[in-house]
Chain A
């Protein structure tokens, strides 16, 4: 269990703990908080203690504001900044394996390579940061181990990557921040520097490659090839650790509790963080505890359907055009359409007997059509060709019938005949 303990030594110890899998609780004891924790069966490690001033203050609300601010600060740092204070859940086996491997490189001088695969938000970066932190805490290797952190998003080709490695290792051809020399020179320089050392006296280097799959897309995969080659053959002990994501589809089942519902929609820890943090961000002096209502509201915000939101804001003319497209899709079985066809369909509706929708001029309808295209609700089948006029370009609608009908339900002040037109198909003929 992790948490934040805010102690006011003289009087009470309040334990405000929020655990991802259990609900929030507020406990208070009149004992020394650490003892209280141990008695309650929690391990003290992983808790952060915030000491408040022991002055007896007349103004209670001032103390509340201060400690709420501190709690917010710490929790935000944990959730957003992912500082490695927290314990690891569910990855103990992997962690043991990883730390073993790193120790073998650092202490025994053995070269290794590891690839950590997991879906996004499953804790890979947290795992490696934790392991590195523990490694640097072990006494006999404090200054010895060199670390090079690379990220596939930043070092988009081998040249930049090589310069970054040279920079991070502070090798001799770096003056300040600028790196001199060509790609080939830099590569051979690094390889030489790493090769010269032998297992006993040279510093082990740990390479951490985030977004590993992006490095694999570089030309000829030069960097990867060389790094892994070094880790097999070189004298300097080198550990290459890659982190990459693997896409994972989530299931959707219906359940009652908000947290359970959220867990089923997305098993991604990051989205859970988002949900909880959103609920927590409403905590102020006037509203000091997280309530069920906060969590429900946060869930609402997180699970909005964005396309429905956009359709909600369209004008009546634009809604009519979408309904016309829906009818065309029904009649012609999803064949692409052009503006002229949609306009004809719209004319049929307006001239029939609808009085609530004015028979707008064609250019006005064209402007509404172009607005839909700008919002990316409709898309041209191919790139704009010079030969076809705008009215005759073939388009596709990116909403399906269920989405349209659902959006219409929520559309404010929808004229009745427009709604009837949407639900009817050819029955008005």
Chain B
């Protein structure tokens, strides 16, 4: 199908396997198909595109969204109902909360004229969450064709391998299909496909090449890479826009973008600043050295007592409670002397800086409880500035 090839790149073999498994409309197919592969390897996209293009009757359900059995079953039945009743929009909502009722209602719904003689496909995305539901859900869906005595095929999409799904007492084995990870050539091809129309394809391909050179050893996730590609492209084009370099001046363009991408890895890749903050920083033409993410806030100057509160909070969070007496008899006095009101303000400011977080319920009457969320390296740096040897007081380092 030439139309399909343009929509789905680098997945020809998987598409043809799926097409041959589906067979013709009225043919029976494998009762269950299990598709696994890394995230962003195209499982959801290929399955959806294939089913839509071939116009096969299908229902697509995400198991993260439908986290209880009732939600899952009702969504499947209602969507099927929608498929079969093409005339009006308002048909009654079906309610169902056990697999037994589901089988019975499913048989009724599939008696509709346009669903009767064809294979109905049920696609369960993020299927690893089915393992956390009731014990009969996964084996039931694997055998749905036999239990309903209808022409239905259930397709499971997951990142986790099949061996981790199999129940201990065994089950009906599905057909397992692997979606291989994209090679660097494939990634290049797919990412270059979305080039913005103002620039030539070669220009964009060179940019993608540079991007992959920096990020490929760290991350192969297509979604992340395409997000980074979109975010950083304006910066890459900057010299061309300003007139400082032509499109073919690869060396100059590379010199401009490379430190920028390295900074992106430390900030926006780690989601420490949001994409809009990143874009703003680019537009303001800030010096790359000035961009700091949250993990590099050592330059934040804290007042003297706030530092001690933080140190105390860290020790309280990570030392077991029974060791407190041993460590703190001498030290306790210092903290108590502080004015209560000031302490409260300082604690609030620490929470705002996200160095402390609130745990427990808001309505606890005997005072809120906090937990220190900084890393060991950070607290050591802080402790050093007040000449406090924190290592002596940490239980794990005894």
Contacts and interface: CB of A to CB of B under 8 A. Distances in A.
Interface of A: 69, 72-73, 76-77, 79-82, 120, 125, 151-156, 160, 164, 177, 213-214, 245, 247, 268, 270-271, 274, 277-278, 281-282, 284, 301-302, 304, 306-307, 309-310, 312-317, 357-358, 360-361, 363-364, 367-368, 374-376, 386-389, 391-392, 412-413
Interface string B127-148: 0000000101001100101110
B216 A315 contact: yes
B265 interface: yes
Contact of B163 (A281, A306, A312, A367): A306
A47 B325 CA distance: 86
Given A306-B36, A317-B218, A386-B359, A312 B176 contact: no
A306 B179 CA distance: 11
B136 to A, nearest CB: 5
B164 interface: yes
Contacts of A247: 169-170
B160 A376 contact: yes
Contacts of B53: none
A387 B372 CA distance: 10
A313 B181 CA distance: 5
Given A156-B134, A160-B98, A391 B31 contact: no
B161 interface: yes
B178 interface: yes
A307 B176 CA distance: 13
Contacts of A153: 99, 136, 139-140, 143, 147
Nearest to B104: A177
A72 B30 contact: no
A306 B23 contact: no
A387 B178 contact: no
B27 interface: yes
A389 B375 contact: yes
Given A277-B30, A364-B269, 11 more contacts: A76-B28, A76-B29, A120-B171, A153-B136, A154-B140, A247-B170, A309-B178, A315-B216, A361-B265, A364-B266, A386-B359
B305 interface: no
Contact of A73 (B27, B98, B139): B27
Contacts of B45: none
Nearest to B143: A153
Contacts of B36: 306, 309-310
B196 interface: no
A376 B270 contact: no
B183 interface: yes
Given A270-B173, A281-B21, A391-B375, A81 B28 contact: yes
Contact of A312 (B173, B180, B320): B180
Interface of B: 17, 20-21, 23-24, 26-31, 36-38, 41, 98-100, 103-104, 134, 136, 139-140, 143, 145-147, 151, 159-164, 169-173, 175-178, 180-181, 183-184, 216-220, 265-266, 269-270, 272, 295, 317-318, 320, 359, 371, 375-376, 396
Nearest to A160: B100
Nearest to A247: B170
A367 B266 CA distance: 11
Nearest to B134: A156
A125 B175 contact: no
A72 B24 contact: yes
B146 A82 contact: yes
B217 A315 contact: yes
Contact of A151 (B147, B169, B220, B270): B147
Query: Chain B: interface secondary structure?
Result: loop
Considering the complex of A and B, which 6 residue pairs feature the smallest CB-CB distances, nearest first? A313-B181, A306-B161, A316-B217, A154-B100, A76-B28, A313-B38
A413 B41 CA distance: 19
Nearest to B160: A376
B180 A73 contact: no
Contacts of A125: 146
Contacts of A368: 218-219
A361 B178 contact: no
Given A312-B180, A363-B270, A389-B375, A274 B38 contact: no
A309 B35 CA distance: 12
Contact of A156 (B21, B98, B145): B98
B173 A80 contact: no
Contacts of A360: 218, 265
A281 B16 CA distance: 11
A108 to B, nearest CB: 30
17 contacts: A73-B27, A73-B28, A151-B147, A156-B100, A214-B136, A274-B175, A277-B30, A309-B36, A309-B178, A310-B38, A314-B220, A315-B218, A315-B220, A363-B270, A374-B159, A376-B164, A389-B376
A125 B149 CA distance: 13
A73 B134 contact: no
A357 B216 CA distance: 11
B318 A387 contact: yes
Contact of B265 (A151, A271, A302, A364): A364
A101 B42 CA distance: 53
Contacts of A388: 318
Nearest to A357: B217
Nearest to B219: A315
A304 B178 contact: yes
Contacts of B176: 302, 304, 306
B31 A274 contact: no
A76 B31 CA distance: 11
A282 B20 contact: yes
B318 A306 contact: no
A80 B29 contact: yes
A122 B159 CA distance: 31
